[in-house]
Amino acid sequence: MSERDEETVHGPAEGMTVVDVSRALAGPHAGMLLGDLGARVIKVEAPAGDDSRGWGPPFVGPEGAQESTYFLSCNRNKESIVLDLKTGDGASAFSRLVDQADVLIENFRTGVLDRLGFPLAELQARNPRLVVLSITGFGHDGPEAGRSGYDQIAQGEAGLMSLTGSGPGDYQRVGIPIADLLAGMNGAYGVLAALLERERTGRGKVVRTSLLASIVGVHAFQGTRATVAGEVPQPQGNHHPSIAPYGLFRCGGGAVQISVGSERLWQVFADRFGLDTSTTTFASNAARLANRAELTAAIERAFAGMEAEDLLTVLDEIGVPAGRLRTLDEVYGWAQAASQHLITGVDHPVLGTIDLPGSALRFFDPDGAETTRLVHSPPPTLDGDGARVRDWLHERVAGVRR
């Protein structure tokens, strides 16, 4: 991080130092979220680099200096230092980094840090204010604690794939590594809660989460269908399992999505598009769910003569929530996405100026002035900040500056 960067970094986590020894996605995503909030995040990598540096194609950049777009997605606002934790020098430098940190992020399998010589109890004894975020695949204890955690496996084991697909028996994964991303999000907010508690107690603690816990934690109404109603949910394709009509419907120029979430709105919608509300087939939400195929066919007949843009205009006029289906290039070219800072430009030392997906959070003072971190640093090259981090660590240990 350059001096200029330090001057322009803002956010509620400004002044906090995070040592991120995680790799792949769940831990790095948590670290990036904290970096987006203004924390200084020092990414500790093995000599071969984070696994995700090799996850591609696509790779971008000149031959011999190519970067994985996967790595670029989860490592902005970080510095990279290479340390071999199995060597004396690497272990010593890592210990000194942790001594200076507010937060340590790790996602090794249970027991690996102990075998490397860094038991969490010992690290926290050296630095009592240290907050540790520890992410595993299936939990830190229990009969399957030792299992490796990979996103699609967790999506299957935690029931998400059983809910996702075109219909019963057609099980599909979610199109992004949602278990990893949710674990990173849960980890980041757990860290912030532990830091808040540290303000009262003066001591840090260990925050644990897992891919399994993060998927089960968002089962929401599908979970209570199973635990309370005794139903086993099945995939419903692009239609809501509990509300009708709510989903994707074909029209003359493609498709639109609608959400008719109340009986009042259903009456307005049905009147505008000539749907018969007198029949018991569509008389209630429960009836419409039971006759979904007939309902969908009736709606798509009504939509057939309209282009998507014209249809969306009519739906907006009558107050029915609706939207189009955008490809990612359309999302990143959308003025509304840009207005929310969801496209972040950074100057990468190898790739030049590149755009990254932005942070989901914005912050404002009571007077309306935005205090969101808007200047971001690019994902680091391997050991690209090693010398600077070592100099900083030497100064901190020597007591030159805090």
d(CA 232, CA 143): 25
d(CA 373, CA 366): 17
d(CA 32, CA 77): 6
Residue 209 amino acid letter: T
d(CA 94, CA 385): 15
Strands 343-348 and 352-357: antiparallel
By three-state DSSP, how is residue 236 classified?
Answer: coil
Strand partners for 354: 346
Neighbours of 381 (CB within 10 A): 16
Taking CB atoms within 8 Å and a gap of at least 24, the contacts of 368-375 are 371/10, 371/11, 372/10, 372/11, 372/341, 373/9, 373/10, 373/11, 373/36, 373/37, 373/38, 373/77, 374/10, 374/341, 375/5, 375/8, 375/9
d(CA 213, CA 80): 29
Query: Is 151 in the active site?
Result: no
Residue 140 amino acid letter: H
d(CA 84, CA 397): 20
288: Cα separation from own chain's centroid:
34
Whole-number Cα distances in Å, 118 to 47, 92, 237 = 19, 11, 47
Please answer whether residues 164 and 235 qualify as being in contact, where contact means their C-beta atoms are separated by less than 8 angstroms: yes
Per the residue annotation, which of 20, 36, 102, 180 is the catalytic one?
180
Please answer whether residues 348 and 383 qualify as being in contact, where contact means their C-beta atoms are separated by less than 8 angstroms: no
Q: What are phi and psi of 389, to 5 degrees?
A: -65, -40
Which tokens belong to 178?
């949602």
Query: Which residue, chain included where needed, has tokens 């990414």?
Result: 43
Strands 103-106 and 79-82: unpaired
What region does 326 belong to: left with phi over 0, alpha with psi -120 to 50, or beta? beta
Q: Which residues are catalytic?
A: 180
